[in-house]
Structure 1
Amino acid sequence: MNSALETASSGSKDGIGRPTMPARRVAVLTGNGTLFAGFTFARFRHALAAMDSSVIAIGAIVGGHPAGLALGTCRKGEGAELLSVAVAPAVRRSGIGLALIETWREEATRRGSAVMIARYTDTNTGSAAFEALVRRAAWSEPVEDGLMVTGRAGAMADVVGAWRAIGGRLAQPGLYEYAPVELTDADRARIANYLAQPVAVDMLGPAALSDRTSPAFSTLIRREGVLVGWVLASEMADHSIRYEEAFLDPVYWHSGIAIGAYHHCYARQACLLGRDSIATYYTNSTRPRMVALTRRRFAPIADRIDTILAVRSTGRATTPDSLNRKGKPHEHRRA
């Protein structure tokens, strides 16, 4: 049984025996949290089945039953990211959403994170409610954080391969190579140097992301055998591919080879998963060149393009006394 449910009480009665509001608790979930899987998106539910140390899941229990969830991650060197927060419709507007998000922030702080972030799309139906919730919790006002482009792998590979500059590169292989994600000591040293550059701010690189990237859909970019960049992708629960991170040595920015790397990955995805399989690409607003390229080149051939917004928080909050807590000292659903 989930450890959080073991802490939940079944309610109480007033002085003349009438039932009062069912007991409410929020708690850090450990072990198997699948009883709360209905309160997050399908692509995140696998994280609840066997929660590792990177997962922060805060469950709400009302009358002994799951009633809400705040789910996110906290990884060393990355900070904490809130992925989703949701509350059962019957108990909304009772302070549970606020208690969930603040308890989640407390747990992230306890695990060593100084900064927390939550990202969501401007088209999400619950964005207004989520913004109201985080505003009550004293998170920052939303700022634009990048673009999310979603398209069909086959169509994107076809169009990118037909760009004249890229087509020329693809017709003359040899100088550049799209190689498997297999790192040598020399590669690791170059990655460390690249990540120290301002152009790589917030990037983690292929070594740090190795536990959650899919080798079949990722690639290293080599020039005459030397590592000069990478494209890293992960396979989601619905078998779509999310392209997590891309980097190219600034010396080669005008070569078109980074786009060639995306063509390589899209084409491989179309071959392995089908031409209509979904490819999602995110570009960070701290890289204006990539944002401009995405708007100019990728957006017209995509199924959709969404602006990503982000809110941030620092420090430890205090959960309202109206909701008792038990337990230890990222598209958002409406809370």
Structure 2
Amino acid sequence: MPGPSAANPPSPALPPHRIATLQGDASAFARLTYPAYRNMLAPVGIGTVAFGAWIGDAPVGLILACREEGRTTLLSVSVASGWRRCGIGGRLMEMLAAAVPAGERLTATYSSRLPARAAFEGLLRRCGWGAPVLQSMRAAGTPRAVLDWAKAHSPALRVLRSYGLALWRDATPDDRAEVEQLIGSGAIAAEFSPFAMAAQFEHWPDNSWLVRREGKVIGWMFARLELPDTVWYHGAAVRRDVEHLGPLLLMFHRVHQVAAERLGPDSTWRIDSFPRTPAMLAFMRRRVAAFAGFVDELYRVDRTQG
């Protein structure tokens, strides 16, 4: 993820500087990247791609990436305060792109909460990267906010009265067979199979649900009550042809009714991360963001080397 940078008035011209590959002990540049990446600079190891910029003897810029399995991932790019917006960041990006073999993908991921998000996205555009693609989202809030929203928007739940909910722990053999049929037919992706983590689900019996329509299983949502005050989500899926009709919202609402009853209405719920599936991302943007106290979107941008 790129490092933060504040907006500063542009310098009149690119100052005299030099940019070179960093090797050996590059700890002098550590302040120009995130703490989590600083150990990659002392020393610069195999698989690390790093370029530094100097003005005189002073380190003023750093771009850091890692290379593995035929892909290079940009981790951070930063220019020291006082030397930003004068072209050093763009030169560092050019050096990184030149170091990636033709046909290999260059990738960056970043958070919507990145302080310098607009500046970083602008830098990527100017350097020939593609458009950002939403990969996943994280959110957190309280059951009270969910239930208050539901009370104020009761029609959104009223239309779901034709659906039925049952605890996963009470699933019948027929229910389980229907789940297997949904996965086998491709109506729900195999990666969301509840059986893949069945051993763990057995320990989350109080707030994991099946949803039925016309008596048939069409989806599930797994959540775990973590004492004293947190409910975590671990997976959800519904049949593709009905995912836009609201069964995710129904299960989400029920999870928070249980959380409010057992942990209190001001306890915390967390969706740590969901993969980039259209239904889940649309649900989180359209519904969850309305009553979440915290939302973080993770974007990915690629550049394919010519």
1:285 partner letter: R
Aligned to 2:176: 188
Given that 1:166 and 1:257 are in contact with CA atoms closer than 8 Å, whether structure 2 keeps it comes out as: no
**1:286 aligned to which of 273, 277, 285:** 277
C-alpha separation between the residues in 2 aligned to 1:161 and 1:179? 23
Given that 1:212 and 1:234 are in contact with CA atoms closer than 8 Å, whether structure 2 keeps it comes out as: no
Aligned to 2:262: 272
- 2:200 matches 1:212: yes
Aligned to 2:235: 245
TM-score by length of 1: 0.48
- 2:84 matches 1:93: no
Give the alignment's Cα RMSD to 1 decimal: 4.8
TM-score by length of 2: 0.51
Aligned to 1:179: 167
- 2:248 matches 1:299: no
Q: Cα offset for 1:160? A: 2.9
Change in 2 beyond 3 A, CA 1:121/1:246: same
Aligned to 2:120: none
Given that 1:87 and 1:97 are in contact with CA atoms closer than 8 Å, whether structure 2 keeps it comes out as: no
C-alpha separation between the residues in 2 aligned to 1:93 and 1:144? 33
C-alpha separation between the residues in 2 aligned to 1:123 and 1:163? 28
Identity %: 23
Q: Deviations over 1:120-160 (max 9, x none)?
A: 744368x9xxxxxxxxxxxxx99531222221122113213
Q: Deviations over 1:239-297 (max 9, x none)?
A: 5323222222245445423211110001111221222222223444331x442332222
- 2:257 matches 1:308: no
Larger radius of gyration: 2
| Structure-to-structure mapping, 1:1-335, within 5 angstroms | 86=36, 92-95=41-44, 121-123=111-113, 144-169=134-159, 172=161, 176-198=164-186, 200-201=188-189, 203-213=191-201, 214-235=204-225, 240-253=230-243, 255-281=245-271, 282-287=273-278, 289-309=279-299
Change in 2 beyond 3 A, CA 1:251/1:309: closer
Q: Deviations over 1:160-181 (max 9, x none)?
A: 34323334257x57x5223343
C-alpha separation between the residues in 2 aligned to 1:120 and 1:238? 32
Q: Secondary structure of the residue that 1:200 maps to in structure 2?
A: coil
Q: Cα offset for 1:301? A: 1.7
Alignment gaps of 5+ in structure 1: 1-84, 106-117, 128-140, 313-335
Greater RCO (CA < 8 Å, at least 6 residues apart)? 1
Change in 2 beyond 3 A, CA 1:210/1:158: farther
C-alpha separation between the residues in 2 aligned to 1:236 and 1:308? 25
Q: Cα offset for 1:309? A: 4.0
Q: Deviations over 1:7-47 (max 9, x none)?
A: xxxxxxxxxxxxxxxxxxxxxxxxxxxxxxxxxxxxxxxxx
1:223 partner letter: R
C-alpha separation between the residues in 2 aligned to 1:187 and 1:151? 32
Change in 2 beyond 3 A, CA 1:259/1:200: same
Change in 2 beyond 3 A, CA 1:190/1:96: farther
Equivalences, count: 213
